[in-house]
Amino acid sequence: MDGRQIMTADEVRRATIRISHEIVEKQAGTAGLVLIGIQRRGVPLASRIAAAIEANEGSPIRVGALDITFYRDDLSLASAAPIVKGTDIGFDLNEATVVLVDDVLYTGRTIRAAMDALVDFGRPQAIRLAVLVDRGHRELPIRADHVGKNVPTSREEVVRVHLVEVDGEDNVTIERVAPVGELAGAVG
Amino acid sequence: MTVDLPAATSEPPAIDAASDPSSGAAIPPPRWRHRHLLDVDVLSWQDIELVMVTADSMKEVLARPIAKVPALRGHNVTILFYEASTRTRISFEVAAKNLAADVVNVAAATSSVTKGESLIDTIRTIEALGADTIVIRHPVSGAPYLAAETFGGSIVNGGDGWHAHPTQALLDLYTMREHLAGGSLAGRKVTIVGDILHSRVARSNIWTLTAAGVDLWLCGPPTLLRGFESWASRGAASGRRFTVTSDIDAALQDADIVMALRIQRERMAGGLLPSLREYAARYGLTSERLETVHPDAIVMHPGPMNEGVEIAPDVAAGSRSVITDQVANGVAIRMAILYLLAGGGRG
């Protein structure tokens, strides 16, 4: 593990459960509720939140995966555009309340792209946003409805969320890197 | 025309190891490093895998209620065809439009080419008009290479003479993997029947299919296989094996995949075939002839078909036929290629 740890596995777990309660409270139930995780680490986070809601409320929550690669605004920039990881939304979004789930909220450009992608699938009644970490430095008028942890950062720092499903462990770290554009753009 | 077959440039087809998505960060994702797609011979097996995986995502896009993503917004794709084409030209056009690119169609028959403008001048003009990617089809083998020397953007070869048709070979490979249980082509018997001599589709498929490790058979009248025996014996030395035969029954026996090629009447010099009727009788794919293939075998054809010549109508429309899948997959493959060349996948 590189960098300074800012969330332990237990804190990640508690934040996930708290977000699951907040989502149900805001929606006043689970009717019409669907979760869509943004590739890559938003997908396992969405599954965890859905499982927590299901455990508390007893009703199953549908979970989808969204890859926003084709909606990015930086394809023309050198070294941009990661490999596509796949979109899987096997249900109708019309009239649904969609909670987008991502690991880190940073510039807001990922969320802008995700909303562009979502409206191609239908017309949700509402779109909300849940993130494990909000690190600030927004470049667009976007905010999260549910936040696991607010972390003040500088642009020279990188916040890394690690999840068992992807990385083999649960935690969040922060580290200072040389101001290389490529790395700064890699998260969020 | 002789085509030398250099040693295999690609890694052995380690399909299972390279494409396991659950392995996560353990295997770094492949990077796309090609500016043009002129032939399949420069693609490594990893490159081919990346095209296939990207095409999977494009198929998912095609299944959406709105089958369009803004990945190539503001990108100009100019389609410059010096030869007749329906499916390839429309396929590229649909692919580019699905990625929100601006598409310009140039049909050489109605352009200044008829006034004697050279290929290089045409490319320079198209570049000045803002093209980022040019898809070119030309009756002269190698013409896209000349275009690539002149053009500042990306060139996609949409078929040149007898030489290469890379997107067709990639969509054929994609379709085969989709239809075979397990998706692995290694060791499967693939038979290509027909006018091998004039076929850029066959030449490009030889590259990708030998790279995939299939048991490849080329079958047709001896006059339409000229030069391929010596190619086969040279290829064997470098690990790219295929069998060349005029014995249609041996070629079809237990085949997993049978691909018929069009008899290219427009490229046929006198004397290569006694008659189309004799060709149909000796080499045409009929349901009787297909009785010896593998029970789950599929039948392919790159189109356009001469029904009743190289393939019987009931076979083309039959349960083994995946010909319409080839057309649909062609759009996904061409979206993947346009996307990768435009910078997607550079990681």
Note the pLDDT tens digit of each residue in B18-54.
Answer: 333 333 334 455 688 899 999 999 999 999 999 999 9
Q: What is the mean pLDDT of residues B231-243?
A: 82
Q: Is A9-153 a CATH 3.90.199.10 domain?
A: no
Whether the CA torsion A52, A57, A60, A65 is positive or negative: it is negative
- Residue B2, pLDDT > 80, answer no
Residues B338 and B95: beta-carbon distance below 8 Å: yes
CA B222 to centroid of chain Cα atoms: 24
> Given an 8 Å threshold on Cβ–Cβ distance, is B70 in contact with A87?
no
Per-residue pLDDT tens digits for B306-332: 999 999 999 999 999 999 999 999 999
Q: Which residues of B touch A76 (CB under 8 A)?
A: 74, 342-343
**Domain coordinates in residue numbering, chain A:** 9-153
Cβ contact (<8 Å) for A88 and B68?
Answer: no
Share of chain B above pLDDT 90, in %: 73
Average pLDDT of span A171-188: 66
DSSP alpha helices (H): ranges in chain B? 15-18, 45-62, 87-98, 119-128, 143-150, 166-179, 200-211, 228-237, 248-252, 276-283, 313-316, 323-341
Task: Determine the residue among B27, B59, B61, B346 to mutate to test chain A binding: the one whose Cβ has the most chain A Cβ atoms within 10 Å.
Answer: B346
Tokens of B301: 């054809």
What is the distance between the alpha carbons of residues B59 and B67, in angstroms, rounded to a whole number?
A: 9
Partner residue opposite A75 with nearest CB, options B24, B50, B342: B342
pLDDT of res. A178: 66
Name beta bridge partners: A104.
A133
Q: Which two tokens stand for residue A14?
A: 């508690």
What Rg, from alpha-carbon coordinates, does chain B have? 20
Mutate which of B33, B47, B73, B337 to disrupt the A interface (most A C-beta within 10 Å)?
Answer: B73
d(CA B35, nearest CA chain A) in Å: 13
Whether A71 sits inside 8 A of B29 (CB atoms) is no
DSSP assignment of B194-206, as one string? S--TT-HHHHHHH
Q: Which residues of B are catalytic?
A: 87-88, 115, 137, 165
Angstrom distance (rounded) from CA B213 to CA B222: 25
Provide the pLDDT for residue B346. 56
- Per the CB < 8 Å rule, is A117 touching B69? yes
**Six token digits for residue B76:** 């100009």
Under 8 Å between Cβ of A46 and A35: yes
Residue A44 confidence class, pLDDT cut points 50, 70, 90? very high
Residue A108: band (very low, low, confident or very high) from pLDDT cuts 50, 70, 90: very high
Residue A99 is predicted with a pLDDT of 98
Instruction: Convert the pLDDT of each residue in B69-90 to its tens digit.
Output: 999 999 999 999 999 888 899 9
pLDDT of residue B239: 75
Cα-to-chain-centroid distance, residue B330: 9
Q: Do B346 and A80 touch (CB under 8 A)?
A: yes
pTM, full prediction: 0.85
Local structure of residue A168 (DSSP, 8 states): S
Domains of chain B listed by start with CATH number: 30-164+328-341 (3.40.50.1370), 166-323 (3.40.50.1370)
HSE, CB side, 13 Å, CA atoms: give it for residue B120.
3
